[in-house]
Amino acid sequence: MTTRMLLVLGVLLIGAGLLTAASEWLRSQLTERRLFTRLPPGGSGERGHEAAPGHPLATLARRLIRDPAGLRHSHPVRRQLVAAGYAREVDFYYYLVIRLALPIVTASGALALAHGGRWAIPAVCGGALLGILAPSWWLKARARRRGARAQQELILLVDLLRMLHGAGLGTGQSLLELADGFGNVLPTLTPELRVANHQFQCGRGRRETLEPLAALFQLPDFSSFAELVDRIERYGGAADEPLGRFAERLAEQYRLDLKTRIGRTTVKMTVVMVLFMLPSLLVLLAAPGMLSVLRFLASAHP
């Protein structure tokens, strides 16, 4: 009876998850439609029911007019999914279903392992808690790994940009070539460069298209890179020297980060040595003295 009830509960919760995903999609569509309908028309003096010019709703709607995909980045979970590499709309709903179904699976597995004993309720609670937190932990870990790869690829990106500038290509042509022909060399940055190039061709500025990479990967170096590329493209001139200096600064920063990681690893290894090697050293050094003391005590008290 307990197994049947769990199966029924699991089916009900999966259905609730699907309904939640569908309602989230409908709410997203309705929100987008409401924002665009309430946006004040350009060049018209009629206001009607539109939002005020300084209203946050109108500001957000104007931003969505310039970047329709920006609606996906307004939700914290969606931002986390984009940082982890899942930028499609369907990935968000897959994630919702997983967040709702995984606690049921882990709780059922914990109950099966507990065999209905006295630890059944703590096992179910622990399994459900693990199922709730595991997707978020996994997304954060994946986003950190992508940020580390993006930091390494940024140095190579600057060097490749210098090389293409030296071959006679402009900044825009170089970024297009990097996004289209260097996918194997820059697997993390090429999809983001394609999006940035598409936004630039739609009328946004170069800095506005590259600036979001700093928030996406949590790396302020991308903000400096966006400013540098925008100045080179706006004012022209030789790009080899400023790009070379920027690459040297990135390499120096990467070396400092490596030194910091080495220092942290040294501290961690010290803890490992204290926990595992120090008892062995005590046994090796103190064992002869302890044995001699025990022998003396044994001989003194026959």
Per residue in 75-109, pLDDT (tens digit) is 677 778 888 888 777 887 788 888 888 888 888 88
Evaluate whether residue 108 is within a structural domain. no
Domain assignment present for 185 = yes
Question: Model confidence at 45, in pLDDT bands (50, 70, 90)?
Answer: very low
Domain assignment present for residue 128? The answer is: no
pLDDT at residue 46 greater than cutoff 60: no
| Residue 80 covered by a domain | no
* Residue 85 domain-assigned (yes or no): no
Instruction: Find the range with the poorest average confidence among 20-24, 134-138, 270-274.
Output: 20-24
Determine, yes or no, domain membership for 191.
yes
- Token pair 């665009």 is found at 36
Consecutive H or E run containing 81: helix 76-83
Between 149 and 118, the more confident residue is 149
Using 50, 70 and 90 to split pLDDT, how confident is the model at 41?
A: very low
Nearest-angstrom CA–CA distance, 178 and 247: 17
- Is 222 within a domain? yes
Residue 261 CA from chain centroid, whole number: 20
Rounded Cα–Cα distance for residues 273 and 286 (Å)? 18
pTM of the entire predicted model: 0.62
Identify whether 186 is part of a domain: yes
Domain that holds residue 208: 149-254
**Residue 192 to residue 190: CA distance in whole angstroms:** 5
**Domain count within the chain:** 1
